[in-house]
Amino acid sequence: MKPPTRKHPSYDGRGVIVAIFDTGVDPGAAGLQETPDGKPKVLDILDGTGSGDVDISKCVEASGDYEIEGVHGNKLKLNPGWVNPSGKWYVGAKNAFELFPGGLKKRMTKERRKHWDREHQAAVARTTEAIAAAENGKGSKPASTDKADEDKGQAAQQTKLKKAELQSRLELLQGVGEKHDDAGPILDCVVWHDGTHNRVAIDTSDMHVPSPDDSPHKGKLQDFVPLTDFDIERQYGTFSAEDACNFGVHVYEDTEGKPSVLSIVVDAGSHGTHVAGITAAYHPADPTLNGIAPGAQLISCKIGDTRLGSMETQVGLSRALGAVLRHKAHLINMSYGEPTATPNAGRFIELASEIVNKHGVIFVSSAGNAGPALSTVGAPGGTSSAILSIGAYVSPAMAAASHSVRGSMAEGQQYTWSSRGPTDDGDAGVTLSAPGGAIAPVPQWTQQSRQLMNGTSMASPNACGGVALLLSGLQAAGLPTSPAKVRRALENTCAQVSTASDADLTYGCGLMQVDKAFEYAEAHEGPGTPDVRYAIRAGA
């Protein structure tokens, strides 16, 4: 059988910027480095939650031997090659465990405990051997070398005291072993201005689990390659080979223009990277691993607060919307949500509606995973009129390959757990459906390159990638791309999946079809074509 003909291969998402509202995206993850036309894939990574903030308001000056005092009074060696015309260094510190997502913290605590146990057991063994040697009379000789003047009684007393000291040491070591609690490694942070940009260096020496082959300077501040705000140079760092956790930075200044807060941007979980990969991953060596819109570029907006187990906050969401406007993003994907008693209401919904209806940004979100009962759609995706709510669909081939379904499925269907409408105020709740599972990239700290995940969290970026393809094609064809027109094209071209009485509440308009939506947009665009949206309310 001949492979299908590809139409418009350059309509691959290029020219489209997608903001990922999620746990954060690992810029070092597989497929998230560049686009097919050589542009950087990830334009910026931001932490809207403040979970990675470091107070760097303390200013110090260096001594003649390039040494400064850290925020805790410790000495830090600077690299003589670092350019700092002002001579002012701003210092702060952060516990790395406060930055790490739960899974990574658990793994690193375990690895550090193994090293600590080895060192502790060695110290216990040395002390036990010393006690045995003292009891056998093989302890250290008295300080005097004049045997004629040696006081045997004094020597015996010294031996007794030595044994008591060793026994106390052993008891202390045993007690510490039972009560040991790793507070986590400390990261000393230094910020300065090189005359052009703020620069950041971090001492990561406390992150490294020592080994006999290690350099004594491993991870020291002076060896760190300085970073600046991610959106300027798009460079990121890695704390250590053991954790493999990539991070970016942003420096925020006070009203006087002095560095005040350093934001160390670390993802709060693997979810956001997976979502980003579904939307726009690009693998030049193996295109079968590509996301839906490999030509699109991404902005990572971390809305999941690490301190709250990756739960989103109003502050994080508001800052993320601000980033969308600053970067002139065309699309938002938010694979987050929870139940609500107040559909289509609240401050975030007001802001989301404004960014769609006033600024022309298309907002895509997951419907929720609380099905199959009716009225289970979550907020904001399923309960907000300005947002496209996406349900999760599974095809027979996908069910067999991804879920090892043994029985034959005659046709595709919605995942049983995909949330259904209607909303409490009467809206359908689900706009349309898209595939709800994917094998996609995950952060490097997971020690995997990709992983299978399922949920409306995966259906939403699948649909978002499809919208990116549609926008890319419309832009190239010189056609308008307002949220109302794109929504109309999508809703009028979905493939009908079921004729059941509850189909509209389950699938929305049906299964998304990008090619048909593009053809519809082309055919229905012309002079005088209205660009309007309708809001219908029931009377009292």
CB 508 within 8 A of CB 492: no
* 307-341 per-position pLDDT tens digit: 999 999 999 999 999 999 999 999 999 999 999 98
Alpha carbon distance 205, 212 (integer Å): 15
Q: What is the DSSP letter of 317?
A: H
The pLDDT, as a whole number, for residue 6 is 73
The pLDDT, as a whole number, for residue 119 is 78
Instruction: Tell me the average confidence (pLDDT) per consecutive run of 10 residues in the chain, 540 residues long.
Output: 67 97 98 97 98 97 93 94 96 97 93 77 81 69 51 68 80 74 90 97 85 64 97 96 96 95 98 98 96 98 96 95 97 95 92 96 97 95 95 93 80 94 93 97 96 97 98 94 94 94 95 96 77 67
DSSP assignment of 234-262 equals ---EES-TTT--EEEEEEEE-TTS-EEEE
Alpha carbon distance 355, 367 (integer Å): 20
> Any catalytic annotation for residue 223?
no
User: What are the structure tokens assigned to 445, written together?
Assistant: 């700290």
Alpha-carbon distances, residue 335 vs 162, 341, 363, 380 (angstroms): 65, 20, 11, 10
Q: Which amino acid is at 33?
A: Q
Alpha carbon distance 361, 474 (integer Å): 15
CB 439 within 8 A of CB 401: no
**What residues contact 470, with CB distance under 8 A and at least 6 apart?**
486, 489, 490, 514, 517, 518, 521
Alpha carbon distance 485, 474 (integer Å): 11
Alpha carbon distance 89, 83 (integer Å): 11
The pLDDT, as a whole number, for residue 1 is 43
The pLDDT, as a whole number, for residue 540 is 53
| pTM given for the model | 0.90
The pLDDT, as a whole number, for residue 381 is 94
The pLDDT, as a whole number, for residue 249 is 98
Q: What is the DSSP letter of 196?
A: S
User: What are the structure tokens assigned to 160, written together?
Assistant: 């007794």
Residue 311 buriedness (CB in 10 A; 0-12 / 13-18 / 19+) = middle
> Any catalytic annotation for residue 22?
yes
**Maximum CA pair distance of the chain?**
118
- Closest-CA residue to 388 (of 353, 436, 348): 353
Out of 22, 47, 229, 231, pick the active-site residue.
22
Q: What is the DSSP letter of 220?
A: -
The pLDDT, as a whole number, for residue 258 is 94
The pLDDT, as a whole number, for residue 141 is 52
Q: Which neighbouring-strand residues pair with 67? A: 77
Q: Give me the half-sphere count of Cα atoms (radius 13 Å) on the Cβ side of residue 412.
A: 18
Out of 51, 300, 457, 460, pick the active-site residue.
457
> Any catalytic annotation for residue 457?
yes
Instruction: Count the Cβ atoms, other than its own, within 10 Å of residue 148.
Output: 5
CB 271 within 8 A of CB 22: yes
Out of 193, 208, 250, 271, pick the active-site residue.
271
- Closest-CA residue to 472 (of 5, 4, 7): 7
User: What are the structure tokens assigned to 3, written together?
Assistant: 């492979």
Instruction: Count the Cβ atoms, other than its own, within 10 Å of residue 166.
Output: 21
Alpha carbon distance 172, 166 (integer Å): 10
The pLDDT, as a whole number, for residue 9 is 86
**What residues contact 281, with CB distance under 8 A and at least 6 apart?**
30, 31, 32, 289, 290, 291, 294, 440, 441
User: What are the structure tokens assigned to 521, written together?
Assistant: 């947009």
Alpha-carbon distances, residue 145 vs 141, 150, 162 (angstroms): 9, 8, 19
